[in-house]
Amino acid sequence: MELLSTNVSFEGEHRRYRHTSATLECDMEFAVYLPPAAVGSNPKKVPVLYWLSGLTCTDQNFMQKAGAQKRAAKLGMAIVCPDTSPRGLNLPGEDDSYDFGSGAGFYINATQQPWAPHYRMYDYVVKELPQLVENELPVTDKRSISGHSMGGHGALIAALKNPGRYASVSAFAPIANPTECPWGQKAFKGYLGEDTRSWEEWDATLLIPTARERLPLLVDQGTSDEFLDSQLNPDALADACEKFHHHINLRMHRGYDHSYFFIASFIDDHLDHHAEALGL
């Protein structure tokens, strides 16, 4: 790992790294916040919250806008924030739109060309990146996962598909039923092909019935989110959870939108939720 930058923050450190990803066959950048306990001359290993960001984001949006460091420092929790897709591969159509290609990996494993060799963000965030972080940084293998919008979708499917891997999961305004919304349909058709049956394993709402682990879901959603009705559909997820007795705490917040103002308003609740599950 190549250290790109470091900033002291609430007595801990925010760092940015670059590494060569074998999974994605390209260089990737990610950010990590290490709390005070994990830095200095005698660093202590701490558990990690993996944060998955939304469409168009890089590793930097959450770290600069969410205001998570103060609470994470107090709790003794590291936060790892990957990028949202490979970058600069010069694939045809890679940079044509905000909701497909660069900045829009959707945390799935592509099967269609030319995306399949590189757009394997699911394997990257679930397997390769945690292994790298746990090998190279003062963190434990106790993990939680959260995210926003496209990243909320990623967090939910990562937890639902990997029983025992995460202590807890939460999401802000997730794309909860991507097979039934324009963002998800565009991405899944491009990355996975025309067979909609192959899409189902990447849809949190459709994974609820067969989930082998019933981690409680904490989901926050703003009522003034411009994407609520057309793209996010938290009600479908809540209905599936009710039908199959999967605990969900869907909190609707009046007047909040899809922005980082919303995330910053409730991020401490999510950090506390994960800290309890991680034993902090």
Q: What is the CATH number of the domain that holds 56?
A: 3.40.50.1820
Q: Is 198 exposed, middle or buried (0-12, 13-18, 19+ CB in 10 A)?
A: middle
The span from the CA of 124 to the CA of 60, in Å, is 18
The span from the CA of 81 to the CA of 65, in Å, is 13
* % of the chain with per-residue pLDDT over 90: 98
Domain count, the chain: 1
Rg over alpha carbons for the chain, rounded to the nearest Å, is 18
pLDDT in tens, 223-268: 999 999 999 999 999 999 999 999 999 999 999 999 999 999 999 9
What pLDDT does 114 receive?
Answer: 96
pLDDT in tens, 97-156: 999 999 999 999 999 999 999 999 999 999 999 999 999 999 999 999 999 999 999 999
What pLDDT does 89 receive?
Answer: 94
pLDDT in tens, 22-52: 999 999 999 999 999 999 888 999 999 999 9
Cis (ω within 30 of 0) for the bond into 36? Answer: no
What pLDDT does 109 receive?
Answer: 98
Residues labelled as active-site residues:
149, 225, 258
- Tell me the β-bridge partners of 104: 101
Instruction: Note if the pTM is more than 0.85.
Output: yes
pLDDT in tens, 165-195: 999 999 999 999 999 999 999 999 999 999 9
Q: Are 192 and 179 contacting, i.e. CB atoms less than 8 angstroms apart?
A: no
What pLDDT does 40 receive?
Answer: 82
Tokens 């030319």 map to which residue? 114
What pLDDT does 41 receive?
Answer: 84
Q: Is the pLDDT of residue 197 over 90?
A: yes
* Residue span of the structural domain in which 70 resides: 2-278
